């Protein structure tokens, strides 16, 4: 059986003029929602099966887990030295005083939060190095934080 993958031309082998002509006469047709979902699913499977330094976690992927009242976490990435996660804090939620064993970066994705006694909102960033302490973290209106430790 002939392997079609081996018969596909490399970009260097493609005649640019022929490609341009084909491109110009090809109708601009979007796949159906079902076909688009199948394509995305197959691509994600292919990406997951390869050992690469990059990957995606889309908004609808991953699991939110409850840490405590008003606190939900979604781990995005974890390895031996670091992890990245989203932390959702509901209205009137607080995290008590705590220390940092690792460097911690916090980015406010949305909402409002008091980080180490400083008011932060959408787009604000905070860095806390290993060995430092956080005062209470609290939010009156709720927020989503992107946190990375290393």
Residue extent(s) of CATH 2.60.120.10 domains in the chain: 65-149
CATH of 65-149, one of 2.60.120.10, 1.10.15.40, 3.40.50.10860, 2.60.40.1930: 2.60.120.10
The burial of 76, by beta-carbon neighbours within 10 Å (0-12 exposed, 13-18 middle, 19 or more buried), is given as middle
Backbone phi, then psi, for 7, in 5-degree steps? -95, -5
Predicted pLDDT of residue 101: 81
**Integer angstrom CA distances of residue 3 from 6, 8, 14, 49:** 6, 10, 19, 21
What confidence tens digit (pLDDT) does each residue in 83-117 have?
Answer: 899 999 999 998 887 777 889 899 999 999 999 88
3-state secondary structure of 94: strand
Predicted pLDDT of residue 71: 92
Query: Residues of the chain whose pLDDT is less than 50?
Result: 1-10
pTM beyond 0.95, yes or no: no
Residue 63: CB atoms within 10 A of its CB come to 8
């Amino acid at each position: 059986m002939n392997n079609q993958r081996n018969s596909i031309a490399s970009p260097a082998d493609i005649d640019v003029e022929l490609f341009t002509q084909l491109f110009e006469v090809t109708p601009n047709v979007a796949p159906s929602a079902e076909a688009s979902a199948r394509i995305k699913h197959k691509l994600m499977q292919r990406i997951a099966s390869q050992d690469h330094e990059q990957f995606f976690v889309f908004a609808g992927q991953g699991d939110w887990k409850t840490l405590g009242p008003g606190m939900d976490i979604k781990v995005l990435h974890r390895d031996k030295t670091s992890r990245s996660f989203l932390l959702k804090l509901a209205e009137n939620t607080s995290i008590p005083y705590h220390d940092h064993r690792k460097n911690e970066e916090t980015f406010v994705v949305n909402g409002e939060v008091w980080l180490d006694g400083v008011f932060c909102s959408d787009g604000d960033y905070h860095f806390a190095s290993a060995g430092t302490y956080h005062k209470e973290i609290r939010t009156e209106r709720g927020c989503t934080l992107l946190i990375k430790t290393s």
